[in-house]
Structure 1
Amino acid sequence: MALQQNKVREQGAGSSPGGDTEEDVMFRKTARAALAVLMGAAAFSLAATPRAAQAQAYPARPITVVVPFAAGGPTDTVARLVAESMTKTLGQQVIVENVGGAGGTRGAGQVAKAAPDGYTLLLHHIGQATAPSLYRKLPYKVTDFETAGLITAVPMTLIAKPGFEPKSIADVVAYVKANKDKVTYGNAGVGSASHLCGMLFMSAVGTQVTTVPYQGTGPAMNDLVGGQIDLMCDQTTNTTGQIKGGKVKAYAVTTKEPVKSLPDLPTMEAGGLKGFEVTVWHGLYAPKGTPADVVAKLNAALNTALEDPKVVARFADLGTEPEPKDRRSAEFHKTFLTAEVAKWKPIIEAAGVYAD
C-alpha cells in the first residue's frame, strides 16, 4: 500500500494540472478503493471484537441467586453451599439473596421478571411444582423459567417439641387422633415444604389439627424448640443438627429407606403410614429467554459444585446427597418439573387447600 501511495505522489508531481492520463486516473481510483476496503475491514474488526469478547466473557460481574425463603432455612443452606463452589468455577461472586414471602412466590416472581442475561437466578425447591395448583393468582407461570439443573432431593423428618408425650410414630398417630383440638403443627408458610408435608401427614392420619404458619422455617423451628408448638415436618438439611443436638424429638423420615445420617429413625411407612413418601428436591432456574450457552455454562458450574468434596460432605452431614449425574441436566430438569406439576395437582385439589 505504501508503494502504491508513493507512485501516486510521484506521478502527481510530474504532471501538470489537468494533464493526467487516463491510466493515472484509473490508478488513483483503484488505490482509493483498496484503501477504503482496508479501512472498512479494520472498522468491522474493531466493532466485532468487543461483541465476541462480550459473548465469551460471561460472567463479567457478580451473579445473584434468589432464594425465595428466609435466611437460615434448608433451601438457603443448599443455596449457600452451591453458590460458594460455583463462585470458584465461574470466577465471579455468586451472591445469595433471600426474598421471602408468599410461600416462595414473591422471590420466584421477581426472578421471572428479571433480565434474561444470566445474572439473576432462582434456587427453589418442590414449591416450584406445587405453586401452580396451590395459588389462585400466581404472578408467573412455570414456563417463565429456563431450567438449569436439579441439585438434591432432601428427605424430611417428623419432629416434635422436647418432651412431647408419644414415644413412636404409631403413638404420634394415635395421640393426634385423640387430641386433634389440642395438637398444633407449625410450618414455614403456605406452599412451603413443611406445609406440604404436614398436609400429607394430616391426610394420611385422617385428622386435621391446628396449623400455625410462620414466615420461614427458622422462626417455626425456634418455637418448636421452645415448646410453643407440638409438631413439625421439615427437611433434614434443617432438622439433622437439631435432632443430633437433642433439641427436638424425632419420630420418622419420609423416605422409602432410612436415612444414613439418621439411622435410628424409622420410615413413616414402617410406622404404619403406608405409601407415605416425600422428598424436597431443589433446582436452579434462569429467566425465560436466557441464552442457551449461558444456561449451559451455569449447568456445568452446578455440576462441578455437586462433585465438590466439600459440598458432598456437607450435604451428607445434613442428611442428603447430590442428585445423580443423569438427573442434573437442564433437559432432565425440565421434564421432571413438568411431571411434578402433574403429580401434585390432584393431591392439592383433593386437600382443598388454596392460597390467594
Structure 2
Amino acid sequence: MKTTLQRLGRGLAILAAAVPLGAFAFPDKPIRMVVPYSAGGGADNTARVVAQKMGEILGQTVVIDNKPGAGGVIGADVVAKATPDGYTVLYDASAFAVNGALRKLPFDPTGDFIPISLVATAPQILVVAANAPYKTVAEFVASAKKSPGKLTYASAGAGTGSHLAAEMFNEQAKIELLHIPYKGGAPALTDVMGGQVASYFGNTASTLQYVTGGKLRALAVTSKTRMKALPNTPTLAESGMPNYEVLEWNGVFLPNGTSPDRVQAIASAVQKAVADPRVRAKLQQAGLDPVGNTPQAFKSFLQTESARWHSLVKARGIRVE
C-alpha cells in the first residue's frame, strides 16, 4: 500500500509539473482585459501584444474589451466594480495617475485597484500633418504666438497623457493651444492627418508608423534623448525647453480584493510576457521600452507620477467638464 501511494504521489507531482501554473489558477473562463481607450490606439495596440502572450502563459484566452471614454475613467470603473476573481484585468495608461486631480471619480484609484506591473514606457511624439506649414518646434510656437488660442491640439481624451503633454508644452513654451479632446488616440490621429486639428502628442505605439510612413510630420519627441527610431527628430529639450520630459506608460491593474494567488499569477504572467524576446521586439519596434516590474515597484512608480501630474494640474488650473 505504501509503495502504491508513493507511486501515486510521484505521478501527481509529475503531472502537476507538466501543466502550467496558470491552468490551475484560471480554469473556468477567458480573462477579460479592459482597455479604457479606443481600438487602434497606443494602449490597445500594446495590450493585444501582451495579452496574447499572457494567454499562452496562463493557459487561458485573454480577451481585449475596449471601453473608451472620459479619459479612461469609464473602462477603469468597469474593472473597479468587477468581481475580484482575477478574470477582469485593467490595462491602463498615464491618465490613471492624474484623473483624480481632474475630476470626481466613481472609484478610488488608490483603494480600488491593485497595481500589478508597469508594462512599458515611451516618449510621445509631437506631430502635425505631413503638409503642415511648420517644420520645426520654433516655427510651430511662433505660429501659436501670432494667434493665441487659435492653433489646436488633439488629445486621446481629457486627462490622458496626450492632454497633459500638451499642457506642459503650453506651460514651457508660454503659448495657449486650444484643446480638442477625442475618445482615444485613433480618431485623434485621423483628424491630425486630415488637417482638422493642428497637432497631437501621440504615443509611439500608435503614432510612429504614420511618421515613418510619411503621413505625419514629427516636430520633436518628449524624452530627454532622441529616439532610435527617429534619430533626426530633436527632443523638446533640444528645441528650447530644457526641462521638458514626458513619458507615456502602460500598466496592468486588478480590482482590490483579488486573492493573493490570483494577483501573483497575473503579475507573473505579465512579467514573463514582457520578458519574452518576441514581445519585447514588438514593443521596441513600436518605440516602447519594455519594463515588466513587480507590483511593489509599479506602486512606487505610480505615487511619483501622480504627485508630478497633480502639481501640473494645479499650476495650470486644468479643469475637465
- State the TM-score, normalizing by the size of structure 2: 0.90
> Where does 1:171-182 land on structure 2 (aligned, <5 Å)?
171-182=139-150
Q: Contact between 1:261 and 1:316, CA under 8 Å: does it hold in 2? A: no
Are 1:155 and 2:161 matched, yes or no? no
> Where does 1:36-185 land on structure 2 (aligned, <5 Å)?
56-185=24-153
Are 1:347 and 2:315 matched, yes or no? no
Are 1:277 and 2:245 matched, yes or no? yes
1:261 to 226, 229, 233: 229
Structure 2: any 5+ residue segments left out of the alignment? 1-20
Aligned residue for 2:214? 246
Aligned residue for 1:330? 295
Letter of the structure 2 residue corresponding to residue 350 of structure 1: A
**Aligned partners of 1:256, 1:223: CA distance in 2, in Å?**
28
Provide the aligned C-alpha RMSD in A. 1.8
Using the TM superposition, name which of 255-264 and 202-211 deviates more.
Answer: 202-211
CA deviations over 1:221-245 (Å, ceiling 9, x no partner): 1111111111111111111100000
Aligned residue for 1:218? 186
Deviation at 1:181, TM superposition (A): 4.1
* Local SS of the residue matching 1:114: coil
Q: Contact between 1:160 and 1:224, CA under 8 Å: does it hold in 2? A: yes
Letter of the structure 2 residue corresponding to residue 201 of structure 1: F
2:280 to 312, 320, 341: 312
**Aligned partners of 2:138, 2:22: CA distance in 1, in Å?**
61
Query: Which of these two proteins has the greater Rg computed from alpha carbons?
Result: 1
**Aligned partners of 1:136, 1:147: CA distance in 2, in Å?**
21
* Local SS of the residue matching 1:143: coil
Structure 1: any 5+ residue segments left out of the alignment? 1-52
The number of equivalent residue pairs is 301
**Aligned partners of 1:264, 1:55: CA distance in 2, in Å?**
47
* Local SS of the residue matching 2:91: strand
Give % identity: 37
**Aligned partners of 1:286, 1:128: CA distance in 2, in Å?**
13
Aligned residue for 2:10? none
Q: Contact between 1:156 and 1:235, CA under 8 Å: does it hold in 2? A: yes
CA deviations over 1:179-214 (Å, ceiling 9, x no partner): 334312111211122111111111111111222111
**Aligned partners of 1:141, 1:272: CA distance in 2, in Å?**
35
* Local SS of the residue matching 2:98: helix
- State the TM-score, normalizing by the size of structure 1: 0.81
Deviation at 1:56, TM superposition (A): 4.1
Using the TM superposition, name which of 173-182 and 88-97 deviates more.
Answer: 173-182
Q: Contact between 1:82 and 1:306, CA under 8 Å: does it hold in 2? A: yes
Are 1:290 and 2:255 matched, yes or no? no
Letter of the structure 2 residue corresponding to residue 355 of structure 1: V
Q: Contact between 1:111 and 1:287, CA under 8 Å: does it hold in 2? A: yes
Aligned residue for 1:197? 165
CA deviations over 1:122-169 (Å, ceiling 9, x no partner): 011111110111113444332210111110012101000122112212
**Aligned partners of 2:154, 2:113: CA distance in 1, in Å?**
31
Letter of the structure 2 residue corresponding to residue 160 of structure 1: V
CA deviations over 1:54-103 (Å, ceiling 9, x no partner): 99443432100100011110000111000011011011000110001111
Cα 1:54/1:187, change in 2 over 3 Å: closer
* Local SS of the residue matching 1:142: coil
